[in-house]
Amino acid sequence: MEELLKREGSKPVNTDVESTKRAQSSPFAVRNFRLLWSGETISLMGDQFYMLALSWLIIQLTGSGIAVGTILMAGGIPRVLFMLVGGAMTDRLSPRTLMIISNAVRGVLTLILTLLVLTSTVQLWMLYVLAVAFGTADAFFHPAYMAIVPAIVDPEQLEASNAIVQGSGLITQAIGPGIAGLLVSIPIVGTVIAFAFDTLTFFVTTGTLSMMHGTGISQATQAKSQPHSNILSDIAEGFRSVGRDPVLPPLLVIIAVINFMFTGPMSVGPTKLAQVRFVEGVQALGWIGSAFGIGALVGMVLGGVVKPKKFGLLSLMVIGISGLCLAIIGLSQQLWVATLASAAMGATVGVCQRALHYLDATARRSRNDGPHHEHGHAGLARTRTHFKRTGRIACRSECDRYVCWRWCVANAYCRCLGTQSASAQYPELAVSG
């Protein structure tokens, strides 16, 4: 018993009454969740400041939308490539340790960028180098974040935890760009303050992660004692698993095409329009970004009444409406038109996300068999929950590799619809597993 107390850092709780009380309590009653949520919510707000300030800095330095796109791509490519390695590393290290390292590295990188802008010595090649380094460090954070949430709350608290995480992400996406646009519009010092704020948020969340201890944290570190195969072998086997799936290969091609045709223009287009067309300048960029976040938040609420029978048809409708809204943004001559189109686009994405949540919840309620016999969204949620409760991210079984790649596809799907990631915008697929 003493060893158990030392490992968990808490009082012995063995009675059903105490367990029920904790299960029925808010996730905020869990100290580790409070620390994680507060730190990461602040960090998400900093991310909004960073992305807007970076895009505006590039367009001011070069006047080129190509430069904006290629620098964002320089950060995105290593993020995609190394996220697989990050998942394997999370299986071998404590998720909290990996998150602390990632946040610390990204904090140092944004500090360097802040100093370069402050001293007016920043050059374009420096932004490429920093983008690659930032994207690499970022790739190791998300798999670890996906793993740590189920480890620090009880299974009965997981749904509420997901709602809190998702709501916080949507709120920061709704208010962050607008505030960042106002800040960056301040002459001379606005961009510096935006980068400095993001730097501060990384060190704040590093501190909150360092304060976490006890139940869940020690459980998550048990993965280090498990036998592991070679990282590259794990990744190669994951690709082979995808190749054997009859659905995933063509789906990945479709996602890649949509991502290329949609996310790129939405990431670069508003920045260029804010420079050459809208007199509000960087504030226009902020309003368009916040409008999308507000629309997504409203869409999530309204999507609660949607009970789709054909999710594929709903997805096609979302893609079609989003494409129309994107065209309106590109053709609009007035900011209010572009803002409304961005909000409508966000609303369609929010409805689609809410419908996906409904399908996942319905499937889980209708299935009572074990995780190794489930597929689709229900299998994803149940199987990943099963393995998280054993303290591991990736089992060497074929089923777990299948589930891991299902999550990767969900993550790519959310990105192609213009959201941040599956773990940030649809945590039911990420942290509930």
Query: Whole-angstrom distance between the N-terminal and C-terminal Cα of the chain?
Result: 29
Residue 217: Cβ-neighbour burial (10 angstroms; 0-12, 13-18, 19+): buried
Q: Tell me the C-alpha distance between 227 and 100, whole Å.
A: 24
Which range is least confidently modeled, 127-131, 224-228, 369-373, 399-403?
399-403
**What does the pLDDT look like over 235-283, one tens digit per residue?**
777 777 777 777 677 767 766 776 677 777 888 999 999 999 999 999 9
Give the pLDDT band (50/70/90) at residue 370.
very low
Which residue ranges make up each domain of the chain?
A: 24-218+231-430
Q: Tell me the C-alpha distance between 355 and 89, whole Å.
A: 33
**What does the pLDDT look like over 410-426, one tens digit per residue?**
443 344 333 344 444 43
With 80 as the cut, is the pLDDT of residue 315 above it? no
With 90 as the cut, is the pLDDT of residue 360 above it? no
**Which tokens go with 430?**
């990420």
**What does the pLDDT look like over 55-94, one tens digit per residue?**
999 999 999 999 999 999 999 899 888 887 887 777 777 8
**Average pLDDT of span 211-218:** 69
**Average pLDDT of span 153-179:** 87
- pTM of the predicted model, to two decimals? 0.75
**What does the pLDDT look like over 168-209, one tens digit per residue?**
888 999 999 999 999 999 998 999 999 999 999 999 999 999
Q: Tell me the C-alpha distance between 279 and 281, whole Å.
A: 5
Q: Could you tell me if 143 and 422 are in contact, meaning their C-beta atoms sit under 8 angstroms apart?
A: no
Q: Residue 347's closest CA among 385, 317, 375, 368?
A: 317
- Where do the H-state alpha helices sit in 332-375? 335-366
pLDDT at res. 75: 92
Longest distance between any two alpha carbons in the chain, whole Å:
70
Give the pLDDT band (50/70/90) at residue 428.
very low
Give the pLDDT band (50/70/90) at residue 13.
very low
Q: Which residues of 413-427 are buried (b: 16+ CB within 10 A; e: fewer)?
A: bbbbbbbbbbbbbbb
pLDDT at res. 377: 38
pLDDT at res. 419: 38
**Average pLDDT of span 290-301:** 90
Helices (H) and strands (E) in the chain, counts: 19, 0
**Average pLDDT of span 325-331:** 92
Residue 227: helix, strand or coil by DSSP? coil
Residue 417: helix, strand or coil by DSSP? coil
With 50 as the cut, is the pLDDT of residue 429 above it? no
Residue type, 205: T
pLDDT at res. 124: 94
Residue type, 395: C
In CATH, the architecture of 24-218+231-430 is Up-down Bundle (1.20)
